Amino acid sequence: MAGIRTPEKVPVIPFFADSTATFVHELDADAFSTAGGSNDHVRVTVTTNAGALDREQQLGLVKELSELVASAAGDPFLAERTWVALTEAVPGGWGIGGHAYTDEEIVQHVRQLLGKS
């Protein structure tokens, strides 16, 4: 999971490690199709707090995830058929450990965890 957090440039601490996850949902071959009839695509959805990624980080994350999917599948061409949707939680809509964090609260909480508050 460390590679998935790389573009965000967040510290490697349990707060982030424990809130970063991968969920794999395999579909039957006939359960999905593009308008062109292809069913050999992968969809990845990434949710972050609002404003967590700048444009460079967005590009890096999409590239990295597409390459990870292709590598895991053993299909170097799968990166071209991997769709990555980047979504942002609304301010106050990023819940971790029973608390709905705003961006400012996440920053403050992490600063406290790192002894920098």
Residue 115 lies in a domain: no
CB 34 within 8 A of CB 41: yes
pLDDT tens, residue by residue, 23-38: 888 888 889 888 999 8
Is pTM, for the whole model, over 0.75? yes
Residue 3 in this model has a pLDDT that exceeds 60: no
The confidence score (pLDDT) of residue 77 equals 96
Task: Kindly state whether residue 86 falls inside one of the protein's structural domains.
Answer: yes
Q: Classify residue 36: in a domain, yes or no.
A: yes
Domain annotation covers residue 101: no
Percent of the chain with pLDDT over 70: 92
Q: Dump pLDDT digits (tens) for 40-88.
A: 999 999 988 888 889 999 999 999 999 999 999 999 999 999 999 999 9
The CATH number of whichever domain residue 6 belongs to comes to 3.30.429.10
